[in-house]
Amino acid sequence: MILADIHTHALVSSVFFGRDLSYRRRPPSVLHPGGNQVDLARAWDAGVDVLGFATYVPWSYPWRDCWEGTLANFGAFGDLAERNPERLRWVRSAGQLDRCLAAGKIAGILGVEGGHAIGDDASRVWHLAEWGAWYMTLLHFTDNLIGPSCHTDPHGKRRLTAFGRKVVATMDAAGILPDLAHLASGAFWEVLDLTAGPVLSSHGGCRALCDHPRNLSDEQIRAIADRGGLIGLILFKRYLTGKLWRGTIADVVRHAEHIATIGGPDCVCIGSDMDAFISTVDPIRDVTGLPLLVEQLAKRLGDEPARKIAGDNAVRLLRRTLGVRNRTTFTAE
């Protein structure tokens, strides 16, 4: 069975806190708040085959601009892969993915969290594609030049900007999937109008079970599934239960079951959001808890749907889209 997590923030520990992700560390706790949830040692022990590393810089990056901070993230990941060839490979195409899986190494996949990373220059999307970025999350906690965040526009009344439409067109051409997590719903539907290919919601839950703007409505779930896209299951208690400190693995399974019921089991994967300063569901404290999640999914949904969610769905879409250029389906003004 393949095990994949398409969205973690392990690089935050490396870029901002100088931690070497090669080595095992302790998970965060009240007595040890400086811990982290993902490193190569624990991912290897958990049997993780595909691991998504999201590059991230705060909107107000204190000592460089956001683009330079993004470059620092890519550099940190490249350094990690170079120093750990026996466990990790930087995968930028379907062929590289298959060779990595055959060799029994962890396939490291890069995504970009927040379109503010590119500033006001849409051509930077091409650089991200050259470096192997699989997706870019268009928005994050605040609005940017691309459009509105669901956190500032919870009712989805605003749309993409002209620059945002240009960015989506460039992503289509460059082969980077739009990640619609954090995007206001009005802009969500506009992205689907502008591109015919698959899209992601890399980390989130479903609104029917937890009414929060970050979660997807049933209509949005169906739309992503109809495109052959994926919805990553987040492990953050707040987005699964509405309670910051209350949530268990059973809540993740409930969200998985609902998404699979609405969109089918082929549209669900794991996008844990670990190391994003979140309180993960009990008893999962770090990446070593992912096999337990798969076990619970199998008990509730059956072995085949659990295998799909665990990793088969993610690998299928990666094989179809990673490194594929010239998917343009429209011309933005």
What is the pLDDT confidence band of residue 289, given thresholds at 50, 70 and 90? very high
pLDDT at 33 over 80: no
> For position 60, what pLDDT does the model report?
61
User: What is the average pLDDT value for the chain, to the nearest integer?
Assistant: 94
Cis peptide before 154 (omega within 30 of 0): no
Euclidean distance between the first and the last CA atom of the chain, given in angstroms as a whole number: 45
Closest C-alpha among 173, 166, 164, 188 to residue 116 = 164
Backbone φ, ψ for residue 268 (5° rounding)? -110, 140
Max intra-chain CA distance, the chain: 53
> For position 65, what pLDDT does the model report?
81
> For position 29, what pLDDT does the model report?
74
How far is residue 194's CA from residue 168's CA, in Å, rounded to a whole number? 8
Which amino acid would we find at residue 250?
Answer: A
pLDDT at 276 over 60: yes
Domain ranges of the chain: 4-321
DSSP 265: G
The string of pLDDT tens digits covering residues 203-213 is 999 999 999 99
Closest C-alpha among 158, 170, 161, 98 to residue 129 = 170
Under a CB-based contact definition with an 8 Å cutoff, are residues 312 and 294 in contact?
no
What is the pLDDT confidence band of residue 30, given thresholds at 50, 70 and 90? low
How far is residue 120's CA from residue 115's CA, in Å, rounded to a whole number? 10
> For position 326, what pLDDT does the model report?
65
Helix (H) or strand (E) holding 313, with range, is helix 313-321
Burial of residue 138 (number of CB atoms within 10 Å: 0-12, 13-18, 19+): buried
DSSP letter string, 106-124? EEEEEEEE-GGGGTT-TTH
> For position 268, what pLDDT does the model report?
98
How many C-beta atoms lie closer than 10 Å to residue 100's C-beta? 19
pLDDT at 214 over 80: yes
C-alpha 158: how far from its chain's center? Answer: 24
How far is residue 11's CA from residue 155's CA, in Å, rounded to a whole number? 32
Class of domain 4-321: alpha beta
Please name every residue paired with 133 in a beta bridge, in sequence order, or none if there are none.
110
Range with the poorest average pLDDT among 25-39, 85-99, 133-147, 182-196: 25-39
The string of pLDDT tens digits covering residues 220-271 is 999 999 999 999 999 999 999 999 899 999 999 999 999 999 999 999 999 9
SS3 44: helix
The string of pLDDT tens digits covering residues 87-142 is 999 999 999 999 999 999 999 999 999 999 999 999 999 999 999 999 999 999 99
Closest C-alpha among 201, 215, 304 to residue 254 = 215
SS3 255: helix
pLDDT at 40 over 70: yes
Backbone φ, ψ for residue 212 (5° rounding)? -135, 140
Q: Averaged over 74-90, what is the pLDDT?
A: 98
More confident call, 28 vs 296: 296
Under a CB-based contact definition with an 8 Å cutoff, are residues 247 and 237 in contact?
yes
The string of pLDDT tens digits covering residues 137-160 is 999 999 999 999 999 999 988 999
How far is residue 131's CA from residue 255's CA, in Å, rounded to a whole number? 33
